[in-house]
Amino acid sequence: MKNTAIFLALLLVVTTIRAEVLELPAEVQFSGQPVELSFKVRNEAFQALPVQVDVQVVSFKVLRKPDLVQPGEVQEIRLQLQPRNDLLGSTYQSTITVKMGAQETRKEVKFVFGEAPKQAPKKNALPPATPKAPTAFAVLPLAFNEFMMNLGLALLAAILLISFIARLTKRFMQNRG
């Protein structure tokens, strides 16, 4: 029984899964465009292990990732990280999680969200058109339409006021008589 316990303990120590994340940058700069992030993983176990990746704070697309990493092998993982416009001008500490088999390795990465670079004007490009001041031909029709609308509303108000006064005087005359 004692030998079995020692054998199981030794087996656990020997078959411990070890995975390393290599060449992961400490900081990623975003400037309005998707950023490609690549790093390497090493499998130090005695068996081939599947790989999974997760990134916090930003959405990402896996460009290249092996399904299995063979024992002692180093493989590259490439991700395309999407910038977030709601985080412009801020810095976030993110966690990249790499899971190989049953072992999870977490690495901290600083994400710096900057402004998108302004594009230089193209040569032979026309300058942007500046809006011209409205001419009399453009303003007068609008003013005339507004004037006609106000005149119509004033006439309607006058007609309603006259009919109200006429009904009011008619009621007073009926009550007196």
What pLDDT band is residue 11 in, cutting at 50, 70 and 90?
Answer: very low
What are 53-65's pLDDT values in tens digits?
888 878 888 888 8
Classified as helix, coil or strand, 10 is: helix
pLDDT digits (tens, 9 = 90+) for 65-97: 888 888 888 889 898 988 888 878 888 888 888
Distances from the Cα of 50 to the Cα of 42, 78, 99, 113, angstroms = 12, 16, 8, 32
How far apart are the C-alpha atoms of 51 and 21, rounded to whole Å? 11
The strand pair at 27-30 and 103-113 is best described as parallel
Residue 16 has pLDDT above 70, yes or no: no
HSE of 83, CA atoms in CB hemisphere, 13 A: 20
